[in-house]
């Protein structure tokens, strides 16, 4: 998704990027994957020996809002060359964008980070969270390096299926319980759009997580690190776990925050996420009923039905806004879902629903825009085109019967979504016509041996990657687990908890793992 820069809005951009850094995993998960051949790295000599050219960042931004953030003189930017196709290292090349906050003191290495997605920009994340990093002791001793995975942000080739203007108009595959793709023709049209907009099939089918993990290893090497120090949020936990399984001897420290469960199939993971959102909606409804004029009514048990009453008119008639765009039923649910990511956003959801019932859709559209990281200049910071491309290369593809059954089951585990427009149709997978088979299987995490101590941070009331998944991830990696009491997706630096930040900081800096049963709160 690309658009032309216009006037930026810095404060709103910070909010949208922070929210989008923890992208909703509802669009799918996925597999046991083969590690590179033992001699594969021998073919990558030229890539491993390249030297980075760190420069100012103004010219690397893809939106006006990012350009303002990237103008900060504390930041440096560079690009890493990687093979487009690792089976053909002498062929076409891709470029992975990096943004670095150099260590305030003598650097001991780099902390490579991914904020989630697939589709989240690590370069934007570093730029947006710069004050948090500058106040962190980790940034005293480590360079903080965000990267844009292939297809995202400033990395090339870009993966584009639809323009920002088409996302504004809703002329894209829409996501409720599953994508609203109802026949084979629509699946073919999606695959063709993505191949054409991404510069060809080769660019599209090399976007999966297995390629990103190998990109990470080249990046580690050219950053000058013998071993990887890594922080991954949400989907970024998949990348970190896959890296650990592929290159265990090259791991120094790995923090996985809001970890995806390695024990679940793609469909099971999606159901788990919807169940988590439903649990947080129930909590929101209970909070709302503390007010006598709660838009969801006095009984939390009836909140699903009240929600349906409020939003049902949007199914037939999207609501106009002062922005000039119409709010659809899909927009409303994306806005509500994004607002459930953090307890701090619940008042915004309640206010938006109250305004929507009164005939004003502006607040709900703003929540929807925050979910997409859409900035005031009309640019989309969260790349759902890349999200689809990565998931299609990561996950086994359900049959129409399986996809339809999944939609029905989502309606059962998350009745707030149980509208006919989301769950009563016949659905095809968005990946059904993808031009290459997936590169991962299920389960998606290979057995890991010889791995140093890792750290999983898991919030008990995480609405998207439930706490049970964090427990499973720590078990799979035989690592430490920091349990965090709260209701939010992601905790380190973003949760405002000194306890969490101290535990993670001690691990990253000095490899000091927390004791068994360590616990913090948000």
Burial class (CB in 10 A: 0-12, 13-18, 19+), 359: exposed
Q: Mean per-residue pLDDT for 338-367?
A: 97
| pLDDT mean across residues, the chain | 92
Q: Mean per-residue pLDDT for 339-367?
A: 97
Q: Mean per-residue pLDDT for 435-439?
A: 96
**Cα 114 to the chain's mean position, in Å?**
9
Q: What is the pLDDT of residue 13?
A: 43
Predicted TM-score (pTM) of the model is 0.92
Dump pLDDT digits (tens) for 32-63: 344 454 345 658 999 999 999 999 998 888 77
Q: Is 409 helix (H, G, I), strand (E, B) or coil?
A: helix
Catalytic residue among 13, 428, 467, 489: 489
Q: What is the pLDDT of residue 21?
A: 46
Q: Mean per-residue pLDDT for 408-431?
A: 98
Whether cis (ω within 30° of 0) applies to the bond prior to 12 is no
Q: Where in the chain are the domains?
A: 10-19+43-155+203-263+443-521, 161-197+264-441
Based on C-alpha coordinates, what's the Rg of the chain? 22
Dump pLDDT digits (tens) for 306-345: 999 999 999 999 999 999 999 999 999 999 999 999 999 9
Residues paired with residue 146 on neighbouring β-strands, in sequence order: 99, 113
Dump pLDDT digits (tens) for 139-154: 999 999 999 999 999 9
What band does 2 get if pLDDT is binned at 50, 70 and 90?
A: very low
Please state whether 296 falls in left (phi above 0), alpha (psi between -120 and 50) or beta: alpha
Helix (H) or strand (E) holding 144: strand 143-148
For strand 455-459 and strand 251-257, is the pairing parallel, antiparallel, or unpaired? Answer: parallel
Catalytic residue among 143, 164, 394, 462: 462
Flag the least confident range among 125-129, 213-217, 374-378. Answer: 374-378
Q: What is the pLDDT of residue 63?
A: 78
Q: Is the pLDDT assigned to residue 247 strictly greater than 50?
A: yes
Helix (H) or strand (E) holding 370: helix 362-372
Residues paired with residue 113 on neighbouring β-strands, in sequence order: 146, 231
Homologous superfamily, domain 10-19+43-155+203-263+443-521: Alpha/Beta hydrolase fold, catalytic domain (3.40.50.1820)
Q: Is the pLDDT assigned to residue 446 strictly greater than 90?
A: no
Helix (H) or strand (E) holding 278: helix 266-288
Q: Mean per-residue pLDDT for 388-405?
A: 96
Q: Is the pLDDT assigned to residue 252 strictly greater than 60?
A: yes
- Residue labelled with tokens 């016949």: 426
* Spatial distance between the Cα atoms of 257 and 442, rounded to a whole number of angstroms: 22
Q: Is the pLDDT assigned to residue 492 strictly greater than 90?
A: yes
Q: First vs last Cα of the chain: how many Å apart?
A: 35
Contact of 443 with 31, CB cutoff 8 Å: yes
* Spatial distance between the Cα atoms of 483 and 400, rounded to a whole number of angstroms: 38
For strand 519-521 and strand 480-485, is the pairing parallel, antiparallel, or unpaired? Answer: parallel
Catalytic, 489? Answer yes
Residue 216: C-alpha distances to residues 41, 146, 184, 209, 239 (Å): 13, 11, 35, 10, 9
Q: What is the pLDDT of residue 33?
A: 43
Q: What is the pLDDT of residue 41?
A: 60
Q: What is the pLDDT of residue 173?
A: 95
Q: Mean per-residue pLDDT for 387-403?
A: 96
* Spatial distance between the Cα atoms of 7 and 3, rounded to a whole number of angstroms: 12
Catalytic residue among 234, 269, 337, 474: 234
Q: Mean per-residue pLDDT for 449-464?
A: 96
What band does 106 get if pLDDT is binned at 50, 70 and 90?
A: very high
**Cα 493 to the chain's mean position, in Å?**
17
Q: Is the pLDDT assigned to residue 198 strictly greater than 90?
A: yes
Helix (H) or strand (E) holding 319: strand 319-320
Residue 429: C-alpha distances to residues 33, 177, 494 (Å): 21, 12, 34
Provide, rounded to the nearest whole percent, the portion of the chain with pLDDT above 70: 92
């Amino acid at each position: 998704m690309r658009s032309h820069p216009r006037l930026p809005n810095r404060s709103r951009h910070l909010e949208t990027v922070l929210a989008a850094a923890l992208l909703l995993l509802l669009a799918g998960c996925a597999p046991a994957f083969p590690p590179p051949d033992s001699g594969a790295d021998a073919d990558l000599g030229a890539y491993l020996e390249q030297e980075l050219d760190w420069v100012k960042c103004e010219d690397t931004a893809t939106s006006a809002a990012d350009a303002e953030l990237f103008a900060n003189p504390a930041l440096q930017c560079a690009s890493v060359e990687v093979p487009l196709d690792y089976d053909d290292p002498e062929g076409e090349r891709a470029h992975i964008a990096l943004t670095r906050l150099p260590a305030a003191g003598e650097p001991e290495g780099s902390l490579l980070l991914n904020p989630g997605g697939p589709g989240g920009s690590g370069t934007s994340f570093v730029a947006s969270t710069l004050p948090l990093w500058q106040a962190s002791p980790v940034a005293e001793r480590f360079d903080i390096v965000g990267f844009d995975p292939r297809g995202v942000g400033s990395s090339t080739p870009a993966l584009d299926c639809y323009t920002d203007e088409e996302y504004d108009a809703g002329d894209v595959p829409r996501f409720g319980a599953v994508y609203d793709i109802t026949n084979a023709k629509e699946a073919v049209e999606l695959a063709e759009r993505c191949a054409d907009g991404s510069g060809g099939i080769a660019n599209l089918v090399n976007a999966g997580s297995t390629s990103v993990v190998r990109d990470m290893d080249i990046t580690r090497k050219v950053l000058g690190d013998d071993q990887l120090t890594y922080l991954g949020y949400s989907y970024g936990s998949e990348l970190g776990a896959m890296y650990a399984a592929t290159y265990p001897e090259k791991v120094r420290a790995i923090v996985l925050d809001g970890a995806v469960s390695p024990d679940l199939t793609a469909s099971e993971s999606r159901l788990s996420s919807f169940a988590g959102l439903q649990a947080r909606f129930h909590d929101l409804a209970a909070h709302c009923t503390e007010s006598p004029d709660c838009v969801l009514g006095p009984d939390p048990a009836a909140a699903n039905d009240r929600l349906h009453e409020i939003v049902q008119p949007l199914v037939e008639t999207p609501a106009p806004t002062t922005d000039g765009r119409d709010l659809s039923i899909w927009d409303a649910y994306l806005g509500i879902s994004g607002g459930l990511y953090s307890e701090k956003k619940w008042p915004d959801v309640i206010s938006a629903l109250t305004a929507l019932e009164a005939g004003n859709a502006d607040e709900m559209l703003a929540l929807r825009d925050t979910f997409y990281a859409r900035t005031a200049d009309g640019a989309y910071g969260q790349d759902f085109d890349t999200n689809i491309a990565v998931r299609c290369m990561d996950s086994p593809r359900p049959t129409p019967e399986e996809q339809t059954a999944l939609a029905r089951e989502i309606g059962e585990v998350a009745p707030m979504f149980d509208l006919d427009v989301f769950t009563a149709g016949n659905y095809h997978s968005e990946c059904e016509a993808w031009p290459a088979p997936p590169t991962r299987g299920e389960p998606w995490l290979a057995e890991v041996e010889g791995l140093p101590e890792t750290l999983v941070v898991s919030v008990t009331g995480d609405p998207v990657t439930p706490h049970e998944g964090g427990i499973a991830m720590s078990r799979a990696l035989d690592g430490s687990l920091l349990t965090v009491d709260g209701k939010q997706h992601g905790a380190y630096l973003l949760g405002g908890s000194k306890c969490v930040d101290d535990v993670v900081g001690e691990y990253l800096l000095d490899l000091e793992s927390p004791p068994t049963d360590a616990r913090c709160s948000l």
